[in-house]
C-alpha cells in the first residue's frame, strides 16, 4: 500500500474515533443532528464522492428530475449518512428501551412465521437507511442474526463494526474468508437467519440484472442459497422517518421461481430481489448510498 494511502486511512480512522468520542457525550437527538451537519459539510468537501453520487442519481432519475432536484437528494443523502454514522457509533450506549422507542416494526409476523416454520430464513436488503440499526433491533427482539459482509477497506474500521455487531449478538461472516462457506451453510442447516445486502457491485460471483433500467452486476449468493436450502426468503428494509425515528418493514415471504435451469433461476430470482430493492429506493432516494459505483462492471457484449 502506498504511504499516502496509509496516511489518509489513518487520518480517517482518527477522525472517526474523534467523532465517536465527542458525540457520545451529547444527548441522542443532538448527536444525530451533529451527524447531519457533518454529512452536509462532507457533501461540499468530498468532491469525488459528491460527483459519484450525482452520477448515479442521473442514471436513476435523470430523465424525471432536474439537476437541482438531484443535488438536493444528494445533499440530503450525505446528511442521512452522517446521521447514520453517529447512530452506529453510539448505539451501544443506548438501553434496549431507548432503542425500541426509536424504531417501529411493520410485518414482524412474517419473520415470526418464518422462524417457526423450521426451514431457516434468508433476509435480503440493501444499503438503505441505517442498515446496522436494522440488525441490532431485530437482534434485541430475540432473532439470532448472521450477516454476510465484505471486509471494509481499513481493517481497524472493519473490526470496529464487527465488535459493534457482536454486542448485539450478531455474527459477521466475512465474505470470501476460508471458513465463510462452511459457516453460511451451517446457519441454514441450524434453521437460523442469514441476512445479506445484495445491492453493490463487488468482486463476488454475480449476474447482470436490471437496476434502474441499466444492467448491474449483482451478487448471486442470496438466490443460490435460497434455492439450495429452501429457506423462507424475505426482503426487509429500514427507513428514516421525520424526527430521526425509524421504521423497519418486513415483507411477505417470496415464492421463488424454480425450473430445470438452475442458472436461469438464480438470475431470475436475483432480478426479482433487486426489483424489490429498487422499488424501495424510488420511495426514499435520499437514503441509498449513491456514492457507490453501482454500474461499474460492464456486462459482456451481446453475442446474440
Q: What is the pLDDT of residues 63-117, one digit of tens each?
A: 999 999 999 999 999 999 999 999 998 988 888 889 889 999 999 999 999 998 8
Residue 19 vs residue 142, higher pLDDT: 142
Location of C-alpha cell 470470501: 176
- Lowest mean pLDDT across 10-19, 83-92, 201-210: 10-19
Percent of the chain with pLDDT over 70: 94
Q: Any bridge partners for residue 121, and if so which?
A: 193, 232
Region 262-285: what's the mean pLDDT?
98
CB 167 within 8 A of CB 161: no
Region 249-257: what's the mean pLDDT?
97
CB 296 within 8 A of CB 208: no
pLDDT at 162: 85
d(C-alpha 35, C-alpha 32), whole Å: 5
Stated pTM of the model: 0.92
pLDDT at 186: 87
Separation in Å, CA 164 to CA 114, 135, 301: 26, 11, 43
pLDDT, tens digit, 9 for 90 and up, residues 157-194: 778 888 888 889 999 887 766 667 788 888 888 889 99
Region 141-151: what's the mean pLDDT?
88
pLDDT at 15: 76
d(C-alpha 253, C-alpha 232), whole Å: 6
pLDDT at 3: 53
Give the Cα-Cα-Cα angle 164, 105, 281 (nearest 5 degrees): 80
pLDDT at 178: 62
Through-space distance between the first and last CA atoms of the chain, rounded to whole angstroms: 42
Region 236-258: what's the mean pLDDT?
97
297 pLDDT exceeds 60? yes
> 129 — phi, psi (to 5°)?
65, -155
**Contacts of residue 44, Cβ cutoff 8 Å, sequence gap at least 6:** 50
pLDDT at 95: 87
pLDDT at 234: 98
- pLDDT tier for residue 230 given thresholds of 50, 70 and 90: confident
pLDDT at 176: 64
pLDDT at 182: 83
- pLDDT tier for residue 156 given thresholds of 50, 70 and 90: confident
d(C-alpha 1, C-alpha 214), whole Å: 34
Strand pairing of 206-211 and 214-219?
Answer: antiparallel
d(C-alpha 135, C-alpha 18), whole Å: 25
d(C-alpha 115, C-alpha 99), whole Å: 23
Classify domain 3-287 at the CATH class level: alpha beta
pLDDT at 179: 64
The chain-wide mean pLDDT, for the chain, equals 90
pLDDT at 217: 97
pLDDT at 82: 95
pLDDT at 188: 84
**Contacts of residue 81, Cβ cutoff 8 Å, sequence gap at least 6:** 39, 42, 289
Percent of the chain with pLDDT over 90: 66
pLDDT at 201: 92
- pLDDT tier for residue 134 given thresholds of 50, 70 and 90: very high
Amino acid at each position: 500500500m502506498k504511504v499516502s494511502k496509509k496516511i489518509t486511512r489513518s487520518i480517517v480512522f482518527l477522525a472517526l474515533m474523534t467523532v465517536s468520542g465527542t458525540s457520545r457525550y451529547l444527548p441522542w437527538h443532538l448527536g444525530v443532528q451533529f451527524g447531519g451537519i457533518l454529512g452536509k459539510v462532507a457533501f461540499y468537501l468530498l468532491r469525488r464522492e459528491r460527483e459519484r453520487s450525482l452520477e448515479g442519481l442521473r442514471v436513476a432519475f435523470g430523465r424525471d428530475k432536474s439537476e437541482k432536484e438531484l443535488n438536493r437528494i444528494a445533499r440530503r443523502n450525505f446528511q442521512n449518512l452522517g446521521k447514520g454514522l453517529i447512530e452506529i457509533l453510539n448505539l451501544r450506549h443506548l438501553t434496549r428501551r431507548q432503542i425500541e422507542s426509536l424504531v417501529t416494526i411493520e410485518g414482524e409476523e412474517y419473520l415470526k412465521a418464518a422462524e417457526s416454520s423450521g426451514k431457516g430464513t434468508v433476509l435480503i436488503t440493501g444499503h438503505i437507511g441505517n442498515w446496522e440499526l436494522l440488525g441490532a433491533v431485530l437482534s434485541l427482539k430475540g432473532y439470532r442474526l448472521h450477516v454476510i459482509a465484505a471486509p471494509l477497506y481499513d481493517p481497524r474500521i472493519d473490526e470496529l463494526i464487527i465488535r459493534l455487531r457482536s454486542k448485539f449478538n450478531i455474527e459477521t461472516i466475512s465474505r470470501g474468508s476460508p471458513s465463510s462457506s462452511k459457516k453460511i451453510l451451517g446457519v441454514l442447516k441450524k434453521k437460523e437467519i442469514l441476512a445479506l445486502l445484495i445491492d453493490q457491485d463487488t468482486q463476488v460471483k454475480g449476474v447482470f440484472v436490471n437496476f434502474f433500467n441499466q444492467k448491474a452486476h449483482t451478487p448471486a449468493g442470496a438466490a443460490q442459497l435460497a434455492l439450495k436450502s429452501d429457506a423462507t426468503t424475505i426482503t426487509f428494509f429500514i427507513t428514516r422517518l421525520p424526527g430521526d425515528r425509524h421504521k423497519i418493514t418486513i415483507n411477505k415471504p417470496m415464492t421463488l421461481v424454480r425450473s430445470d435451469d438452475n442458472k436461469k433461476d438464480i438470475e431470475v430470482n436475483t432480478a426479482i430481489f433487486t426489483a424489490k430493492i429498487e422499488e424501495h429506493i424510488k420511495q426514499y432516494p435520499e437514503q441509498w448510498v449513491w456514492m457507490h459505483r453501482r454500474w461499474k462492471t460492464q456486462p459482456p457484449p451481446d453475442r446474440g
